[in-house]
């Protein structure tokens, strides 16, 4: 080996050893702490206090270990952030020139209390008059427009994070989100969270972590993915974030999110992909705080799963079932409905609702100012085609309902089986309706239902009920003869129709008509919707055609003229 090559190898090693030997002469832990505190104060305005020991490490890189650390933001009388242990891994060359550049930041045992941001006071609209409600909606739209116009005047992401951190590690942390109304805080336990290349310059930040929301039914959350933060453009980009939720339902729920958010305008356009217990869904969702609709969703699911309701709120999936059933006289929850501003387009390949299987379900709705308008609800149920439109108007204190639709080709046997009724009838049924109502409670809406329902059937057969046999026996008795023919045990109708009029809390049969060979039936009755009382009268008109069934079943003109 030549002398020159030896110098090329030995010289850097010698300089490195010399730097390590001399470094403690230039850098001490108090000086490092002073530099770190000054950097935090200059860039965040926060005051760093260290109550425990301070340790300095030189290998494998300059490191500063702090214990019992607290951080107080400007204006805080008490430190809002405490850390059991903090470790800083620092870059060497910037440090020699008096600058702090953080390579790694590890926080263990962090506790932070985050004060609630000032929010617009929630207004209870339940006690307003109709005129006050109209003024309330107008003022809300005006405020929304003004807030949208002002968005961007002040940066939402004004975090003073000029410190670029190559690796942030957070373990055993506890975040308490304080409520503005003094309610118990929302607690988030961060078991582990890592962020690589933490920055605000739109470079990819890799995230990985596990969190928990402690409660009677705790929720565990695992996440991993890549995001980008752009402080200059006030933009958050989700390149791909995978989230798994355990405890929100019986089975884990996996969610993949991509998209971007405008932090100033509080708006986000997201693409979603979710899966739980065989249910898969995908679609788009837009949230815009200063626009109408605030939520605009287009989603497609292979099947309906009640666990998905948990995404709309912590109590949606199971909380309602744990509450006592509302009385029919309880006021309608109109104030809550008036807070919803949503457009939704939902497609479900297969949905099981109340024992009834609906296939190719499609729902398009718009909800704003207490008015929920169903522009279209279609699907196949028990072999029939369902088509429905409707409006629930809770804008004022007395709600109104209007709905119209049709169900054509319903398989009667399938529908009866779904309601756990035996196979007493087969055939097809067609229904049409046009109904309205008004009221302040569920009971008033039921009692106020008004409008026609039309029923028509085809190939209707009553199982194990022989109406012709029963009538022929009665006629044969009047003829004082014995029947010789064998009658079918089922009854096949040539036609059966019903005109039903809903009014004053009752369903009136006006009338029911049935046609059988040699026999016509008519029925009139009343069904009370609230107490479920039913009273009906049926009349039969006999025809000479009965004689074709059995000689003893012939009827005289005197009988055929009687209803």
The mean pLDDT of 135-163, rounded to a whole number, is: 73
Phi/psi of residue 101, nearest 5 degrees: -125, 120
**CA 514 to the chain's CA centroid:** 46
By percentage, how much of the chain surpasses pLDDT 70? 79
Q: What does the block give as tokens for 13?
A: 């090693």
Kindly state the tokens that stand for 166. 């190559």
- Quick: pLDDT tens for 313-342: 444 444 444 455 567 789 999 999 999 999
449 vs 391, 393, 502, 518, CA distance in Å?
Answer: 14, 15, 6, 37
Dist CA 531 CA 536 (whole Å): 16
> Shortest CA distance to 404 belongs to which of 393, 386, 389?
389
- According to the model, what pLDDT value does residue 525 have? 87
364: pLDDT strictly greater than 60: yes
Is residue 5 over pLDDT 70? no
pLDDT at residue 52, rounded to an integer: 84
Cβ atoms of 437 and 401 closer than 8 Å: yes
Categorize the per-residue pLDDT at 312 as very low, low, confident or very high, splitting at 50, 70 and 90: low
User: β-pairing, 534-542 with 519-528?
Assistant: antiparallel
Residue found by looking up tokens 């204190």 in the block: 397
Listed residue (99, 113, 89) closest to 179, CA to CA: 113
Which one is predicted more confidently, 107 or 10?
107
Residues 449-469 have a mean pLDDT of 90
Q: Are 347 and 299 in contact (CB under 8 A)?
A: yes
Rounded distance between C-alpha atoms, residue 498 and residue 519, angstroms = 17
User: What per-residue confidence (pLDDT) applies to 16?
Assistant: 39
Average pLDDT over the chain, rounded to an integer? 82
pLDDT digits (tens, 9 = 90+) for 252-285: 999 999 999 998 889 999 999 999 888 999 999 9
Average pLDDT over residues 418-432: 87
Mean pLDDT lowest for which of 405-419, 464-478, 486-500? Answer: 464-478
CA-to-CA distance for 126 and 145, rounded, in angstroms? 24
Radius of gyration of the chain from Cα atoms? 37
Helix, strand, coil in percent for the chain, rounding step 5: 20, 50, 30
Judged against a pLDDT cut of 80, whether residue 472 lies above it is answered with: yes
Alpha helices in 303-440 (DSSP H): 319-322, 334-337, 412-418
Q: Average pLDDT in the 44-58 region?
A: 75
Token pair 């965040």 is found at 44
Instruction: Give dist(CA 140, CA 340) in Å, integer.
Output: 12
Q: What's residue 59's pLDDT?
A: 58
Give the DSSP H or E segment for 3: helix 3-26
> Tens of pLDDT along 519-531?
888 888 888 877 7
Q: Would you state the pLDDT for residue 179? A: 76
More confident residue, 55 or 489: 489
Task: Rank 42-51, 163-172, 357-366 by mean pLDDT and report only the highest.
Answer: 357-366
Helix (H) or strand (E) holding 255: strand 253-262
Closest CA to 377 of 393, 366, 390, 368: 390
Residue 196 burial class via C-beta count within 10 angstroms: exposed 0-12, middle 13-18, buried 19 and up: middle
3-class DSSP state for residue 370? coil
pLDDT band, residue 309 (cuts 50/70/90) = low
Q: How far apart are CA 451 and CA 112, in angstroms?
A: 60
How far is 122 from 412, CA to CA, in rounded Å?
Answer: 49
Mean pLDDT on 92-98 = 59
Taking residues 294-300, report their average pLDDT.
96
Return contacts of 295-299, CB within 8 angstroms, 24+ apart. Answer: 295/341, 295/342, 295/343, 295/344, 296/342, 296/343, 296/344, 297/342, 297/343, 297/344, 297/345, 297/346, 298/344, 298/345, 299/272, 299/344, 299/345, 299/346, 299/347
Band of residue 389 on the pLDDT scale cut at 50, 70, 90: very high
Q: Of 222, 292, 289, which is closest to residue 261 (Cα–Cα)?
A: 289
Once rounded to an integer, what is the mean pLDDT over residues 424-452? 93
Residue 277 CA to chain centroid, in angstroms? Answer: 17
By three-state DSSP, how is residue 106 classified?
Answer: strand
Residue 308: per-residue pLDDT: 62
- Of 72, 76, 75, 81, nearest to 113 by C-alpha is 81
pLDDT, position 436 = 96
Question: Which of 3-12, 97-106, 181-190 comes out lowest in average pLDDT?
Answer: 3-12
- 74-95: average pLDDT: 73
pLDDT at 147: 85
Please report which confidence band the pLDDT of residue 133 belongs to, taking 50, 70 and 90 as the band edges: very high
The share of the chain scoring above pLDDT 90, in percent, equals 41
Q: Is the pLDDT of residue 12 over 70?
A: no
Neighbouring-strand partners of residue 538: 523
Q: What is the pLDDT of residues 372-383, one digit of tens each?
A: 999 999 999 999
């Amino acid at each position: 080996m030549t002398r020159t090559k030896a110098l090329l190898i030995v010289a850097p090693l010698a300089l490195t050893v010399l730097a390590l030997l001399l470094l403690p002469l230039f850098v001490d832990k108090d000086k490092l702490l002073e530099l770190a505190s000054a950097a935090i104060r200059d860039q965040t305005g926060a005051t760093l206090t260290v109550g425990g020991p301070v340790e300095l490490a030189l290998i494998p890189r300059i490191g500063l270990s702090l214990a019992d650390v607290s951080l107080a933001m400007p204006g805080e009388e008490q430190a809002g952030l405490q850390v059991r242990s903090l470790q800083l891994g620092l870059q060497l060359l910037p440090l020699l020139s008096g600058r702090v550049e953080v390579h790694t930041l590890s926080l263990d045992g962090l506790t932070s209390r985050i004060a609630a941001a000032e929010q617009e006071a929630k207004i209870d609209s339940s006690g307003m008059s109709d005129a006050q409600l109209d003024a309330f909606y107008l003022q809300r739209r005006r405020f929304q427009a003004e807030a949208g116009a002002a968005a961007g005047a002040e940066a939402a992401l004004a975090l003073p994070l000029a410190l670029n951190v190559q690796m942030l590690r957070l373990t055993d942390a506890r975040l308490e989100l304080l409520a503005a109304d003094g309610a118990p805080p929302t607690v988030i336990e961060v078991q582990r969270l890592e962020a690589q290349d933490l920055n605000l310059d739109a470079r990819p930040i890799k995230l990985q972590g596990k969190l928990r929301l402690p409660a009677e039914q705790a929720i565990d959350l695992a996440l991993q993915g890549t995001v980008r933060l752009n402080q200059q453009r006030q933009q958050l980009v989700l390149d791909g974030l995978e989230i798994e939720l355990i405890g929100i339902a019986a089975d884990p729920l996996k969610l993949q999110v991509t998209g971007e958010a405008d932090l100033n305008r509080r708006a986000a356009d997201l693409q979603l992909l979710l899966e739980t217990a065989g249910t898969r869904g995908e679609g788009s969702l837009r949230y815009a705080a200063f626009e109408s609709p605030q939520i605009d969703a287009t989603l497609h699911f292979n099947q309906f799963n009640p666990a998905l309701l948990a995404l709309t709120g912590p109590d949606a999936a199971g909380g309602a079932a744990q509450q006592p059933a509302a009385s029919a006289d309880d006021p309608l929850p109109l104030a809550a409905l008036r807070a919803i501003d949503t457009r939704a387009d939902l497609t479900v390949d297969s949905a099981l609702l109340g024992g009834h299987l609906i296939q190719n379900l499609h729902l398009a709705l718009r909800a704003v100012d207490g008015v929920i308008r169903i522009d279209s609800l279609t699907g196949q149920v028990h072999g029939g085609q369902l088509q429905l439109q409707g409006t629930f108007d809770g804008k004022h204190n007395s709600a109104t309902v209007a709905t119209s639709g049709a169900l054509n080709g319903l398989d009667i046997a399938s529908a009866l089986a779904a309601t756990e009724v035996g196979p007493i009838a087969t055939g097809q049924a067609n229904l049409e309706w046009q109904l309205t109502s008004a009221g302040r409670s569920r009971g008033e809406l039921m009692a106020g239902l008004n409008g026609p329902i039309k029923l028509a059937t085809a190939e209707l057969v009553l199982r194990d009920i022989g109406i012709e046999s029963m009538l022929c026996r009665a006629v044969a008795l009047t003829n004082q003869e014995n029947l010789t023919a064998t009658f079918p045990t089922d009854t096949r109708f040539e036609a059966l129709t019903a005109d039903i009029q809903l009014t004053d809390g009752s369903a009136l049969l006006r009338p029911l008509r049935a046609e059988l060979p040699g026999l016509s039936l008519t029925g009139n009755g009343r069904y009370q919707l609230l107490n479920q009382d039913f009273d009906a009268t049926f009349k039969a008109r006999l025809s000479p055609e009965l004689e074709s069934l059995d000689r003893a079943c012939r009827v005289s003109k005197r009988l055929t003229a009687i209803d």
